[in-house]
Amino acid sequence: MRTINYLSIAILACSTVATVNAQTASIPKTEKAAETKQTKVVKEQYFMDKYYEIKATYPSLNICFGTYAASSHNMKQYIERYNEIKAAYPKLPEVYGNYAGSEYTLEKFAQRYYQIKDTYPTMAKNYGDYAGSKQTLQEFIKRFNQIKDSAPDLAEYYGQYAASTATLEEFSSRYYGVKASNTGMKNCYGEYAGSDKKLAK
């Protein structure tokens, strides 16, 4: 009889310890799950804010004002990427901004740059637009020809339209909207029109 009592007590003690341990172990998992479900609040970036930010900080990089303003990178990231391609490809300054503003690795960007250069040697002005875009070469050329046929007055911005995901109607609307706003960002109309950023608050 005593043996059974001792055995019962031992089993009860073990199960109590196991239950407490299980409850303790489950607390961090619950907290982690709650943390995972929390969403980060990302501050909306406005094109004009970023434009004037880089213009004030790096006034000599006027060729990059638009690509930075349209990008998702902060200033530090953008300049690091700018310096990375500048060091690796000193003879390609015309595409530094395209790379810095893109999401590609330098290797992938260079691959895309040489892809369009080798395939369309007469489109030098648009190499950077394509290399930094998310379009396939086929889709880029299709969109390039679309705007070329439909909007000859936007010739300066064909590459930026082709590189964007905007419809021609959206691109034109954004272009003429920023042009009419007299913001002083003439050299960045195409980057704004092709971006998904709001102009200002």
What secondary structure, in 3-state letters, does 10-40 show?
HHHHHHHHHHHHHHHHHHHHHHHHHHHHCCC
Tokens (6 digits) for 136? 């396939």
pLDDT band for 188, please (50, 70, 90 cuts): very high
- Residue 41, pLDDT score: 52
- Residue 184, pLDDT score: 82
- Domain range summary for the chain, segments of one domain joined by +: 47-194
For 107-126, write each residue's pLDDT tens digit: 999 999 999 999 999 999 99
Tokens (6 digits) for 102? 């893109």
Tokens (6 digits) for 171? 């691109």
* Dihedral (Cα; 195, 198, 199, 201), 10-degree rounding: -160
For 39-96, write each residue's pLDDT tens digit: 455 578 899 999 999 999 999 999 999 999 999 999 999 999 999 999 999 999 999 9
Please state which of the ranges 32-41, 53-62, 92-101, 167-176 shows the lowest mean pLDDT: 32-41
Torsion over CA: 147, 152, 157, 158 (sign):
positive
Please give the average per-residue pLDDT across 17-46, as a whole number: 51
Does the structure show a pLDDT above 90 at 5?
no
- Residue 35, pLDDT score: 46
Residue corresponding to tokens 């907290």: 31
- Residue 61, pLDDT score: 95
Model pTM? 0.78
Please give the average per-residue pLDDT across 163-176, as a whole number: 97
Please state which of the ranges 29-33, 85-89, 172-176 shows the lowest mean pLDDT: 29-33
